[in-house]
Amino acid sequence: MTVLGIDAALGSFSAAIVGGGDERTIELPGNRALEGGISAIDDLLREDGGDLARIAVGVGPGGFTGLRIALSYAKALSLAWSLPLVGVSSFDAIEAGLDLGRVLTIVKGRTGVISARYRDAHTMRRASGFIADVLAAVLPPIVGALDVAGDAEDVLRALDERGIDVNTIDSPFRPAALAIAMLGRTREPADNAHAVRADYGELPAAKVPSAR
């Protein structure tokens, strides 16, 4: 099965083709997603489109603008080509291919804000917001080392202040669209493209108009 993966929730805009024993990827800076994303996907498919069976897209949490762009592209292509669409969580994409037990996975938002998911053999919790609030919401008492994956630079100091030993884990799949395409091969597609919805984590900060 050949799958096209698309992601722009985790910083850059990326696309990947997985199938037929081959993997191909392309990546652009996030600020070029709107102008160059479709062209990048077209270039990738020209190299090795194969018999495309489905499309997988990162649904977040992640960057608000990039996420909207990637979902728009994926839904448009799914409808135009009559192909099934699979939504993949950013947390799952970051953890893909990793043998993890107790893990905290981080997606960075605006300054001081994260989305995080903690999971172990018995529980899973997630939250979005300011770092201290999120860690208080998702972390149980920790004894021993904690695996931490994702964009965790801003979180490591807070974990150190809590006396938590950390193993930082790097994703074996880069760019993110490669992990999304691989996961998309094994998951059930949505009933229709419109059923795939964004998980923004925390919405962008809004400015309250001043009273006149």
Residue ranges of the domains in the chain? 2-91+172-195, 99-169
Q: Are 24 and 91 in contact (CB under 8 A)?
A: no
Q: Are 125 and 102 in contact (CB under 8 A)?
A: no
Model pTM score = 0.90
pLDDT of residue 47: 67
> Do the domains spanning 2-91+172-195 and 99-169 agree at the CATH topology level?
yes
Residues of the chain with pLDDT under 50: 205-208
- Looking at residue 125, its amino acid is R
Give the model confidence (pLDDT) of 112-146 as tens digits: 899 999 999 899 999 999 999 999 999 999 888 99
CA distance between the termini of the chain: 60
pLDDT of residue 137: 96
CATH number for domain 99-169, candidates 3.30.479.10, 3.40.190.10, 3.30.420.40, 3.20.20.70:
3.30.420.40
Per DSSP bridges, beta strands 113-119 and 103-108 are antiparallel
pLDDT of residue 203: 53
Domain 2-91+172-195, CATH: 3.30.420.40
pLDDT of residue 33: 64
Q: Which residues contact 144 (CB under 8 A, 6 or more apart)?
A: 165
pLDDT of residue 22: 82
